[in-house]
Structure 1
Amino acid sequence: MHSFGKQPQTSVAIARRSNIDRLSIVIVTYKRQGLLRDLLDSIASLAGKPWRIVVVDNEDSSDTARMVDELDSRLEAAWGPSDPDDRGGTRRAVYFPQADNLGGAGGFSAGIRCAYGLGARWFWLMDDDVTCEPDAIGKLARWTGRFDVIQGSRLDFDGGAFYWMYRFITPLGIPSPFATSDLGPAGYRPTNQLCFEGGLVSRRVVDAIGLPDPRYFIYGDDAVYGYLASKHFRTAVVADVILRRARAISSWDIAGKRQLNSTSDATRYYIMRNRGYTARYLRCNGDYHRVLYGIGTAATLSKELIRLVMVDRSFATGIPALIRGMRDARKVYRDRSWKPMPPLAPKRRTAGHVAPVL
Structure 2
Amino acid sequence: MGKVSAVIVTYNRLPMLKEAIAALESVEPKLSHLIVVDNNSDNDTKEYLESLGDRIEYVRLSENVGGAGGFNAGIRYFYEQTDDDYVWVMDDDTIVHQDSLQPLLAFADENKNFSFLSSNVLFTDGKPSVRNVLRQYGTFNTTLNKKFTKPVLVENGTFVSVLFPRYIVGKIGLPITDFFIWIDDLEYTERALRVAPGYLVPASNVTHKMRSNTEDDITNDIPERVPRYFNMYRNRVYTMNKRNFYRRVRGEAKIKWDYMRLKTGKMPDKAERLKVMRDGIAAGKQFNPIIEFPDEKPEAN
Q: TM-score, normalised by structure 1?
A: 0.69
Structure 1: how far apart are the matches of 2:95 and 2:252? 33
1:274 maps onto 2:235 in alignment:
yes
Q: What is the distance in 1 between the residues matched to 2:135 and 2:87?
A: 22
Partner of 2:77: 114
Given that 2:137 and 2:154 are in contact with CA atoms closer than 8 Å, whether structure 1 keeps it comes out as no
Q: What one-letter code is carried by the residue in structure 2 that aligns with 1:274?
A: N
Q: Deviations over 1:153-185 (max 9, x none)?
A: 021022323354323889xxxxx8653643655
Matched, 1:341 2:291: yes
**Pairing partner for 2:257 from 302, 308, 311:** 302
Determine the C-alpha separation between the residues in 1 that align with 2:140 and 2:151.
18
Match of residue 42 from structure 1: 23
Decide which of 295, 304, 328 is 2:283's aligned counterpart. Answer: 328
Q: Give yes or no for the alignment of 1:64 onto 2:31.
A: no
| Counterpart check, 1:156 vs 2:120 | no
| CA distance in 2: counterparts of 1:110 and 1:344, whole angstroms | 10
Q: Could you list the per-position Cα deviations for residues 273-329 of structure 1 after superposition, in whole angstroms to 9, with x for gaps in the alignment?
A: 1134325644xxxx4x5x984663342242366489889755253222112212222
Quote the Cα distance in structure 2 between the aligned partners of 1:169 and 1:148. Answer: 14
Once the two structures are superposed, residues 31-75 of structure 1 have per-residue CA deviations (whole angstroms, 9 ceiling, x without a partner) of 111211111121222232111111111124332233223444xxx
Is the Cα contact below 8 Å between 1:273 and 1:328 reproduced in 2? Answer: yes
Identity %: 24
In structure 2, the CA distance between the partners of 1:213 and 1:178, relative to structure 1 (3 Å rule), is: same
Q: Report deviation, 1:235.
A: 1.4
Question: What is the root-mean-square deviation in Å for CA atoms of aligned residues?
Answer: 3.2
Counterpart for residue 215 of structure 1 = 178
Q: Deviations over 1:100-152 (max 9, x none)?
A: 21111111011100111112321111111121111112222211121341001
Amino acid in the other structure paired with 1:341: I
> Offset of 1:345 from its aligned partner?
7.9
The farther-off stretch of 213-222 and 264-273 is: 264-273
What letter corresponds to residue 231 of structure 2 in structure 1?
A: Y
Q: How does 1:94-173 map to 2 (within 5 A)?
A: 94-119=57-82, 120-145=84-109, 146=111, 147-163=114-130, 164-167=132-135
Counterpart among 55, 76, 94 of residue 36 in structure 2 = 55
| TM-score computed with the length of structure 2 as normaliser | 0.81
Where do 5+ consecutive residues of structure 1 fail to align?
A: 1-19, 73-90, 171-175, 253-259, 333-337, 347-358
- Structure 1 residue aligned with 2:193: 230
Pair 1:113–1:134, CA change in 2 (3 A): same
Q: Which of 290, 302, 315 is the matching residue for 2:270?
A: 315
Query: Which position in structure 2 is the counterpart of 1:8?
Result: none
Matched length: 285
1:230 CA drift (Å): 1.4
